[in-house]
Amino acid sequence: MPEFVYSIGGEKAAEVAARVAANARSARGAAEARAVPDEAVGRWRMASGEAAAGEFPASVSGSSFVEYPGAGGEYSSAPVAPAISFVAEPPVGATALEITIGGDVAAQIPVSSLARSTGLAPPSSHRVGEPAAPFVVPVFAERFDQEQRFLDMVVQLRKWILKQPPFDEAAIGGKLAFDAHFWPSDPHSGLFGTDDSKNQGQRLFYGDRELARRLLAPWMGTGVSLILINSTLRGGAGGQVGYSAWASVAAAPGEHWEAIGLHEVGHGLGLADEYLDSQRAGEWPQHFEPNISIDPRPSRTPWKTLATVGDMPAPTAPAGHPPLSAGTIGTFQGARYRPDLFRASETCLMRQTNQPFCAVCAAHIRSALGA
Q: What is residue 117's predicted lDDT score, i.e. its pLDDT? A: 92
Burial class (CB in 10 A: 0-12, 13-18, 19+), 51: middle
Say what the pLDDT of residue 25 is. 64
User: Which residues, given as ranges, of the chain have pLDDT below 70?
Assistant: 1-2, 24-38, 313-324
What pLDDT, on the 0 to 100 scale, is given for residue 371? Answer: 73
What is the per-residue pLDDT for 314?
A: 67
pTM of the model: 0.91
- Is beta strand 338-343 parallel, antiparallel or unpaired with respect to 40-46? unpaired
124-267, which class in CATH?
alpha beta
What pLDDT is attached to residue 322?
57
pLDDT of 28 reads: 52
Q: Return phi, psi of residue 265, to 5°.
A: -60, -40
In this prediction, residue 32 carries a pLDDT of 47
pLDDT at 37: 47
What is the bridge-based pairing of β-strands 135-142 and 226-229? parallel
Residues ≥6 apart with Cβ < 8 Å to 208: 7, 9, 83, 192, 193
**pLDDT recorded at residue 24:** 65
Q: Which residues contact 329 (CB under 8 A, 6 or more apart)?
A: 298, 303, 306, 307, 308, 309, 344, 345, 358, 359, 360
Q: Domain ranges in the chain?
A: 4-118, 124-267, 291-368
What sign does the CA torsion over 12, 18, 19, 24 have? positive
**What local confidence, expressed as pLDDT, does residue 261 receive?**
96
Rounded distance, CA 214 to CA 205, Å? 19
DSSP 110: E
pLDDT at 305 (0 to 100): 96
Rounded-to-integer distance, Cα 246 and Cα 142, Å: 10
Residue 32 neighbours by CB under 8 Å, 6+ apart: 24
